Structure 1
Amino acid sequence: MVRDLVIQLFRDALARGAAEGRWPAPPPFAVDAPRDPRHGDFAVNAAMVLAKAAGKPPRELAQAIVDAVRAGDANGDLAALEIAGPGFINVRLAPDVWFRALGEVEERGESFGRTEVGKGRKVIVEYVSANPTGPMHVGHGRNAVVGDGVARLLAWSGHEVTREYYVNDYGAQVQTLARSVHLRYQELHGRTVTMPPKSYPGEYVVDIARELQEEYGDAYLDAPESRWLDLFRDRAVVHVLGLIRGDLAAVNIAFDRWSSEKALYQSGTVDRFIRHLEERDLVYVGKLPPPKSKKGQPPPQPQPDEEGVSVADDLTLFRSSQYGDEVDRPVKKSDGTPTYFCADIAYHWDKRQRADALVDVLGADHAGYVPRLHAALEALGAKRDDLHVVLIQMVNLTRGGEAVKMSKRAGTVVSLREVVEEVGRDATRFFFLTRRSDAQLDFDLELAKRQSLDNPVFYVQYGHARLASILAKAKEAGLPEPSFDLAAVRRLTTPEEQELMRRVVAFPDLLSGAALAYEPHRVAFWLQETIAAFHSYYTQGKKTGERVIGTDPTTTAGRLYLCKALKQVLANGLAALGVAAPERMETRDIGEDA
């Protein structure tokens, strides 16, 4: 990567200066592309981060570093070094550095963009983890696609990635599902039932009940709950997980590991974890603080939470407030049974022993849960930043400006499967990545189906197909297969060609940056911006007569190679998001003059 060349030039110069006693060993420094390209290709803050330790003003130190870097530039890769602002060093590279870098696209092909910035690091990415109580809805779908995008980008950047789904198959919600199934089971035997407000009303519940009826007849019709609850719960969970796996497959998502909450208990992991907390004096018996009253209002009456935990109970509390949490959190209820939180931190404790870093993709409504997870990991000897949490905001599904809310199949909100069946896999995946994950997303079903350039996924795929069409036309005209030739790519001198060339060369940095920031939407943005730049270049060339296939063979060869390289990075960028890169788009004429 070109950026790596700059980093190495500065590292070598700083190391030589430190060895000569001119300054201390340098701390890490940043090499970034400036917002304004007029300021150069890269900006380096080495002088600013080293100034205090060196005991010199940043601009004075910057001049010394500039001299050292120039002295080490044996290949003439630098065109200019300028000191700016409080001590930034702006770097402008020789044109041939960029031209030569284009050759790497041809050398690496489908692997161009893969880096080793995460080599040797194991990462577990846990995402979706929807309760196994019904099919996946659109909100789950956004979580799934963002999580899968994070996992894909981490793999592209050299991390060893495990994709993991945590199945909440132990608590009250799956018991509610079992009771809902039993009510439908009674209904199938001709009884009139009333579904409670918190039951699960979807048709899939009837399907589960029918399976049990076919297998067991009326054996559990009048049986006490203790006889059928576990059976109905386990069968319901298996059935729903089958639905969830199908929903995920519809958007091309598969997991390496499905971790069961119930298995944590059955294997003794939760009990071992509690003993571990006790041995480290991280728990004690006490009461929760009473709820706080709002100004000018009487104190609220304490109410048990969904687990039945009350401020009046003697609980086993985890000392999470010592590690940055607001209060100490209960890990065991007054009857000695573990809380949901206990199982969650036991699961994270287990994950941390299997990986160097953890990524959780959670709904934004879980934001308050994050500090206690960080506190738990820190208390257990890990670092807070060993866990990164990506928060997913809501999805507003619309059709023609009207909100779409209900699903016959799921019985609640619109299911993910229904959306995929209507708009397709690629549109579903790409649309979920057209905004930052922590911002609400408006998903317009009509726009997602539209085969026009205002549909973002169609726009990018159409650009890839247009590039394929240009290369096909060149082949039909008898021109040789585009390949890297330094003399030819040196003809790429227009501002539009320079911008496209730099975008292509910067692609590996874009992917690694998005991976380390856990932000796959950056790639979706980059794809849209890059194809917009190409369409502008293409249109401008038609107006000025500077077409890709022109009269000068060398210039034509350079432009065709740029098209080939651009087509490759578009395909690789789409692949990194799990989206197809079609060679042809039959719905629109892309065979325009090249």
Structure 2
Amino acid sequence: MTPAKLAATVLTAARAVFTARGLDLSVLPASITVERPRNPEHGDYASNLAMQVAKRAGLNNPRELATALAEELGRAPGVKSVEIAGPGFLNIRLDAAAAGSLARLVVQAGREYGRSEQLAGQRVNLEFVSANPTGPIHLGHTRWAAVGDSLHRILAAAGAEVTSEHYINDAGAQVERFGRSLMAAATGEPAPEDGYGGEYVAEIAQRIVAADPEILSLPADEALLSFRDQGYLMMLQEMRESLERFGVHFDVWFSERTLHDGGAVEHALDELRKQGHIYESEGAIWLRTTDFTDDKDRVLIRSNGEKTYFAADAAYYINKRERGFDRCIYMLGADHHGYVGRLKAIAACAGDDPDVNIEILIGQLVNLLRGGVPVRLSKRAGNIITLDELVEAVGVDAARYSLARSSTDSTLTLDIEEITRKSSDNPVFYVQYAHARISSLLRNAAELGIGRGDDFDAALLSHERENDLLKTLGDFPAVVATAAELREPHRIARYLEEQVANNYHRFYDACRVLPQGDEAATDLTRARLWLVEATRVVLANGLELLGVSAPERM
């Protein structure tokens, strides 16, 4: 029995009690949750429903209601016993058959186990990475690549319709500086003072000249434009390829230039005028964002007629909303704290609810060590460590898992030696090893001619370690739903390593699955094979949500 099914059973029992006593059914919630008690000796699950609704139902003593609920619930199929604790807590124990039947449900659901419709109906635009197309993707962007792609998968698993989007900052001064840097490298001149360094600039400049030898014969302004545009496209292609190798695919690559070239900025200004938040002062056009908690009003068009980057921000948000997204999530770097207020103010000025239609997540920095010593700066990229260099050093799985397993609210320090170590104190190895260990066991069973069969006696899964593992597997849908609701992929990783892998290894050490020597396979053998396969399903599904492989051999 899953926690969700048990919760529904508790609510059904409550409705029966309320009906029998003539109490007002409207005070009961539409749905409830049951929780695992901190002390396993108190039962398998607990509910505080009686304490929640007793007063609203006109009862002074929640324990009286809890007594009636316990009596009714105790007759439900799959419930072994119900005890009352404190002022009205219900401590519920399931019978072995009900608990063990979860293994059947998980195996039969397969890849769908853990998925829900919790966020069904939500259209979400998830923007992350959005690195300037002027250099390789660096370590900070790589953290968002891992976390953002995992969040994309998790939101979709919770039923949302999600579009992942990379915003290409291709209309600002940084692209012009990149073009000048490329041209300088191609002509043997020193890089501009405000330009870009690193070997990659010289590499791309050489590729441009090789593909277009006549470029150096063009007038300087034409050559600069050509270096800018060709270099930008080459760098953008490198970024795409790096992200794809990292397992990150964007549904949309959105060009900032299109906002200016297609009239989207002017359209946005018209929409904001209709809302009454635009005004003119000293020859410039402003958005009155201070009406919505921003620290100062923002300039949209300067007195010289030049559109600001903020104008593009406003146009981009309105463009997203007009594409039908009811929730726009921005994942920004640690240096973008100042953007939170102004982006939310844009949403409010556009007539939206800034607490509903827009979310801004800020991710902190990443430090990279090797054996406790900071890793040197990149030779190719200059003053940064790149995504490709991290993957080359540790592999995609170790990089993605390690970047996604910690809350983005805090600075993350990764040690290359630690996250590539093949030992149980390396979290990604520990989780993947659990899956590989199961796959090995299942191969051994097949070699012995032992299958789990079409069904099994769920009541046989009554060992304490089996019960612990079953309860852990039952938590997976709630863990995924919570990770989606809170935008916290690290909850999946921590669940896999601290609960699933840990409880599986403890089960494996305490409960022999396959017969030894001349022993024959028994019904308990087959029941445990169902439990083992259910565990494999949860591990594989959880790792997939993190974009990490589930190896069958290690």
TM-score, with structure 2 as normaliser: 0.90
Q: What's 1:159 paired with? A: 160
Q: What's 1:253 paired with? A: 248
Shift of 1:349: 1.8
In structure 2, relative to structure 1, the CA distance for the partners of 1:14 and 1:233 (3 Å cut) is farther
* Structure 2 counterpart of 1:210, from 206, 213, 225: 206
Shift of 1:413: 1.1
1:211-230 equivalence runs, <5 A: 211-214=207-210, 217=213, 223-225=219-221, 227-230=222-225
CA contact (8 A) 2:543 2:549 kept: yes
Does 1:264 pair with 2:259? yes
Does 1:145 pair with 2:146? yes
Give the letter for the 2:109 counterpart.
R
Shift of 1:49: 5.4
Question: Gaps spanning 5+ residues in structure 2: where?
Answer: none
State the Cα deviation string for residues 513-549 of structure 1 (Å, max 9, x = none).
21222111111111112212222332345xxxx5654
CA contact (8 A) 1:9 1:69 kept: no
**Counterparts of 1:62 and 1:389, CA distance in 2:** 44
Q: What's 1:103 paired with? A: 104
Q: What's 1:6 paired with? A: 6
CA contact (8 A) 1:106 1:484 kept: no
Question: Gaps spanning 5+ residues in structure 1: where?
Answer: 188-192, 287-312, 586-594
Shift of 1:83: 5.5
Does 1:372 pair with 2:374? no
In structure 2, relative to structure 1, the CA distance for the partners of 1:557 and 1:269 (3 Å cut) is same
Give the letter for the 1:408 counterpart.
K
Shift of 1:471: 2.0
In structure 2, relative to structure 1, the CA distance for the partners of 1:67 and 1:86 (3 Å cut) is closer
Aligned partner of residue 166 in structure 2, secondary structure: strand
**Counterparts of 2:298 and 2:360, CA distance in 1:** 20
CA contact (8 A) 1:29 1:44 kept: no
State the Cα deviation string for residues 163-203 of structure 1 (Å, max 9, x = none).
1111110011111111111211221xxxxx22234311122
Aligned partner of residue 560 in structure 1, secondary structure: helix
Give the letter for the 1:261 counterpart.
E
In structure 2, relative to structure 1, the CA distance for the partners of 1:243 and 1:455 (3 Å cut) is same
Q: What's 2:398 paired with? A: 427
Count, aligned residues? 545
**Counterparts of 2:76 and 2:28, CA distance in 1:** 24
Q: What's 1:282 paired with? A: 277
**Counterparts of 2:326 and 2:546, CA distance in 1:** 24
CA contact (8 A) 1:186 1:221 kept: no
RMSD of aligned residue pairs (Cα, Å): 2.8
Deviates more, 1:22-31 or 1:516-525: 22-31
Shift of 1:415: 1.1
Shift of 1:72: 7.2
In structure 2, relative to structure 1, the CA distance for the partners of 1:335 and 1:510 (3 Å cut) is same
* Structure 1 counterpart of 2:268, from 273, 284, 288: 273
**Counterparts of 1:75 and 1:206, CA distance in 2:** 73
CA contact (8 A) 1:154 1:161 kept: yes
**Counterparts of 2:145 and 2:269, CA distance in 1:** 31
Q: What's 2:381 paired with? A: 410
In structure 2, relative to structure 1, the CA distance for the partners of 1:85 and 1:184 (3 Å cut) is farther
Q: What's 2:24 paired with? A: 22
In structure 2, relative to structure 1, the CA distance for the partners of 1:401 and 1:274 (3 Å cut) is same
In structure 2, relative to structure 1, the CA distance for the partners of 1:321 and 1:106 (3 Å cut) is same
Deviates more, 1:390-399 or 1:38-47: 38-47
Aligned partner of residue 479 in structure 2, secondary structure: helix
Q: What's 2:294 paired with? A: 325
**Counterparts of 2:171 and 2:535, CA distance in 1:** 50
**Counterparts of 1:535 and 1:97, CA distance in 2:** 23
**Counterparts of 2:371 and 2:284, CA distance in 1:** 52
Does 1:239 pair with 2:209? no
TM-score, with structure 1 as normaliser: 0.84
Shift of 1:449: 2.7
**Counterparts of 1:216 and 1:475, CA distance in 2:** 60
CA contact (8 A) 1:397 1:443 kept: yes
Q: What's 2:473 paired with? A: 504
Q: What's 2:329 paired with? A: 359
State the Cα deviation string for residues 57-94 of structure 1 (Å, max 9, x = none).
5xx35743763685477743444555656765554444
Q: What's 2:493 paired with? A: 524
Aligned partner of residue 337 in structure 2, secondary structure: helix
1:390-401 equivalence runs, <5 A: 390-401=361-372
**Counterparts of 2:443 and 2:55, CA distance in 1:** 58
In structure 2, relative to structure 1, the CA distance for the partners of 1:403 and 1:21 (3 Å cut) is same
1:463-542 equivalence runs, <5 A: 463-481=434-452, 483-485=454-456, 487=457, 489-529=458-498, 530-541=500-511
Aligned partner of residue 414 in structure 2, secondary structure: strand
Aligned partner of residue 490 in structure 1, secondary structure: helix
